[in-house]
Amino acid sequence: MVKLRMADSKIWKTCVSAMSNLIEEASFKLTPDGIKMKAMDPSHVALVDFEIPASAFAEYEVKKAAFLGIDLAEMNKIMARAKAEDEFIMELDEEKNRLALTFKGASTRRFSLPLIGTSESDLPEPKLQFTATADIVAGIVQDGLRDGEIVGDNVACELTEEEFFMLTESDTGATELKLRKGDPGLIKLNVKQSARAMFNIKYLTDMTKAASSADTITINLGTNLPIQLDFPIAEGKGRLRFLLAPRIEAE
Amino acid sequence: MVKLRMADSKIWKTCVSAMSNLIEEASFKLTPDGIKMKAMDPSHVALVDFEIPASAFAEYEVKKAAFLGIDLAEMNKIMARAKAEDEFIMELDEEKNRLALTFKGASTRRFSLPLIGTSESDLPEPKLQFTATADIVAGIVQDGLRDGEIVGDNVACELTEEEFFMLTESDTGATELKLRKGDPGLIKLNVKQSARAMFNIKYLTDMTKAASSADTITINLGTNLPIQLDFPIAEGKGRLRFLLAPRIEAE
Amino acid sequence: MVKLRMADSKIWKTCVSAMSNLIEEASFKLTPDGIKMKAMDPSHVALVDFEIPASAFAEYEVKKAAFLGIDLAEMNKIMARAKAEDEFIMELDEEKNRLALTFKGASTRRFSLPLIGTSESDLPEPKLQFTATADIVAGIVQDGLRDGEIVGDNVACELTEEEFFMLTESDTGATELKLRKGDPGLIKLNVKQSARAMFNIKYLTDMTKAASSADTITINLGTNLPIQLDFPIAEGKGRLRFLLAPRIEAE
């Protein structure tokens, strides 16, 4: 018996939308405590790490652990049909091997999504020694990425004791974004050691779609290490985390 | 001498837009009492039945009956150029065999549309024994159709004494919409006998484009009969009616 | 040393956008007095004539005359990234042969645009004996052009002592727009002799993109002469002028 209810569908809709940009299939692990999902993208460059506790739901009934294999593109199509004010319910139909998604608003709309078989590979938790972290208004990072797209494919991200810095360069020009300590968009800055690494813009763009422009993104950096982006969800009770491998930066 | 004037172009614009999704050419019959037009779509699955009385116009001068053969796609392009506040005038230029459409607003804009020859086949009025009828908020029906598009091509529509029901099923999932007696979106429900039939979603979508989401659609159903959709126009003085043949529903 | 600063980027953004529709490369001439640019489109049908004085800038430092060769499509991409509230700065980096464009808002974003070599051909000032001129609300002209696009490629423009008139005709119909003396959209009308000429709609559409619908366009006409369109910029301190050669009108 699995029945999950949320007062609205926004959280689930946003997370599924962001995850579906990176991965095709997901195996959600449901336990009485909450839901977890971890997966790598097909090219093994990006990792999605999603967690939401039972307490983020208005109703959460999961008697014993279960895995739900989901085609994220299909689930995303369904979530896109949710209306802002709709109550949202997920129920497992074990007999038909389907997940029922119900939106209750002006009418009651029920979508039935076939479950798929997934291999549960337990992904190892990468141990990364980040040396710098910052909380940044999402819209500013999104702007820097869109700026970079004009001239190139990769963006160098840098955190120093004074600033957050994004740089894209190519033959057709260069773009840079600077956010200084004290600027309202740089909410928190904690730098043990300056860190810089270069990343693919398209991946970062897909990841930051999880956030509205006014949301906060927590960025963790280490020189030439993967970047870790954390989006707090359900008022910080859960989290959507992305890890992205760096590109080699030509000196 | 034909001269028709409306305080604004909204009614004509909406009707032409909805009709042009289904039929290419229309022969409007103008009499001193009003305008009528009936036509089948090229595949003979859908029937359009349009009526608007002289009283819906601010000025209506039609001395004797006339047929106007219209390329609806061309007329739709012109109507799309109307502005909300524009006064709208149609005049027949018999000499040039053209219809002049004038929009009077910040400037006076006049469009001239060549008339086309049409065969006036008097379509027989189908006699259908509907057993159930309902007035439903258009936006809810439109939502159910868009939901259905996610998984399939056809939607089963059902009216019972308790509810209005839409269902689409395919291998990739299922969607259903339920509207219960008493729900504000189900304005009127009158069921002599429960009725159910299946229809092509694309046709229904094109037909319901005639309505804004807050408008009311009157639905008439009979088991495995065509569906009849009525959109009141000009405060109920006229009507835009669509009939759509059912699909065979696999048991 | 070249440094130009504006309180916002709107003027530059609008002008670059309009010019980039017509010409690919521009050679901006910067002097201590201001900036000028004149160029013909690749097919030599249209001329762009742009002027903005030093006084239109919040800060204007140009010690000696300089030519900036700009790929307008690239500059347009950068200007499209400006936000409404951003302060806008252009600086010449002579060493790297680049122009730096900086937007200061929630963050500081800096774009670097390579300069290109351009041949400075001094275009002769055409001497045209216009016989009629009018100031017209831009949105009305834009509407007339979009109306015309429905039926044809060319539009005849006419100024008489009583009105401004646009006409497009083809086999598929005709559209006309009339603006009479006294209509609020016809701000000024000065006709020594009625004038009429025919122009390519696509070119005029590209030119009038320089204006918001509430702006004023000054039109100069002479029978079968080029049309001259003036858009006042920076509260009339500068101007963006377009000249477009007429088409032969079949009698």
Residue A218 lies in a domain: yes
Residues 6+ apart with CB under 8 A from A201: A145, A148, A149, A152, A153, A154, A155, A168
- The H or E element that residue A208 is part of is helix A201-208
B110 and B143 part of one domain: no
A212 and A137 part of one domain: yes
Residue B42 lies in a domain: no
Residues C193-230 pLDDT 10s: 999 999 999 999 999 988 888 899 999 999 999 999 99
User: Is residue C249 very low, low, confident or very high in pLDDT (cuts 50, 70, 90)?
Assistant: confident
What residue ranges of chain A have pLDDT lower than 50?
A: none
Residue A152 is predicted with a pLDDT of 95
Indicate the residue of C140, C171, C172 with minimum beta-carbon distance to B106.
C140
Which of B142, B145, B151, B183 to mutate to probe the A interface, most A CBs <10 Å? B151
Reading the block at residue B177, the tokens are 């919409």
Residues C159-168 pLDDT 10s: 999 999 999 9
* Domain edge (last residue) among A87, A114, A141: A114
C94 and C141 part of one domain: no
Q: Position A131: which residue type?
A: T
CB contact under 8 A, B183 and A78: no
B228 and B150 part of one domain: yes
With CA atoms as reference, the chain B residue closest to A116 would be B172
Based on the number of CB atoms within 10 Å of its own CB, is B95 exposed (0-12), middle (13-18) or buried (19 or more)? exposed
ipTM of the modeled complex: 0.88
Indicate the residue of C107, C108, C111 with minimum beta-carbon distance to A173.
C111
Q: How far is B17 from chain C (nearest CA, A)?
A: 16
Reading the block at residue C91, the tokens are 């600086």
CB contact under 8 A, A109 and B179: no
Residue B234 is predicted with a pLDDT of 85
Indicate the residue of B107, B111, B113 with minimum beta-carbon distance to C179.
B107
Residue C121 is predicted with a pLDDT of 66
CB contact under 8 A, B78 and C178: no
Number of domains making up chain C: 2
Which of C90, C104, C107 to mutate to probe the A interface, most A CBs <10 Å? C107
CB contact under 8 A, B107 and C183: yes
* Domain edge (last residue) among B85, B114, B143: B114
Q: What are the residue ranges of helices labelled H in chain B?
A: 10-20, 72-79, 138-151, 201-208
- Strand, helix or coil at C20? helix
Residue B84 lies in a domain: yes
Angle at C177 (CA atoms; ends C188, C147), nearest 5 degrees: 125
Residue A123 lies in a domain: no
**B chain contacts of residue A85, beta-carbon cutoff 8 Å:** none
A7 and A98 part of one domain: yes
Residue C241 is predicted with a pLDDT of 96
Residue B11 lies in a domain: yes
B25 and B56 part of one domain: yes
Residue C250 is predicted with a pLDDT of 66
Q: Tally the residues of chain A.
A: 251
What residue ranges of chain B have pLDDT lower than 70?
A: 120-121, 250-251
Q: Are B178 and B165 in contact (CB under 8 A)?
A: yes
Q: How far is B135 from chain A (nearest CA, A)?
A: 14
Residue A250 is predicted with a pLDDT of 65
| CB-based contact, C67 to chain A, within 8 Å | no
Q: How far is A14 from chain B (nearest CA, A)?
A: 19
Residue A164 lies in a domain: yes
CB contact under 8 A, C114 and A173: yes
Residues C15-40 pLDDT 10s: 999 999 999 999 999 999 999 999 99
C137 and C110 part of one domain: no
Residue B158 is predicted with a pLDDT of 98
Residue-wise burial string across C67-106, b where 16 or more C-beta atoms lie within 10 A, e elsewhere: ebbbbbebbbbbbebbeeebbbbbbbeeeeebbbbbbebb
Quick count: other Cβ atoms within 10 Å of Cβ C146?
15
Q: Are A75 and A116 in contact (CB under 8 A)?
A: no
* Domain edge (last residue) among A66, A85, A114: A114
Q: Are A29 and A52 in contact (CB under 8 A)?
A: no
B57 and B104 part of one domain: yes
Q: How far is A17 from chain C (nearest CA, A)?
A: 25
B59 and B102 part of one domain: yes
pLDDT at C251 over 60: no
C139 and C98 part of one domain: no
Phi and psi at residue A84, in whole multiples of 5°?
A: -50, -40
Q: How far is A214 from chain C (nearest CA, A)?
A: 12
C33 and C137 part of one domain: no
CB contact under 8 A, B110 and C150: no
Residue C150 lies in a domain: yes
CB contact under 8 A, C98 and A183: no
Which of A107, A108, A110, A113 to mutate to probe the B interface, most B CBs <10 Å? A107
Radius of gyration of chain C (CA): 19
State the residue range of the domain holding C177: 132-244
Residue B247 is predicted with a pLDDT of 94
CB contact under 8 A, A150 and C106: no
| CB-based contact, A113 to chain B, within 8 Å | yes
Q: Position A195: which residue type?
A: A
* CATH code, B30: 3.70.10.10
B78 and B141 part of one domain: no
How far apart are alpha carbons C191 and C159 in whole angstroms? 7
Residue A249 lies in a domain: no
What own/partner pairs with CB < 8 Å and gap ≥ 24 does B30-38 have?
B30/B2, B30/B62, B30/B65, B30/B66, B30/B67, B30/B68, B31/B62, B31/B65, B32/B62, B32/B63, B32/B64, B32/B65, B34/B60, B34/B238, B38/B123
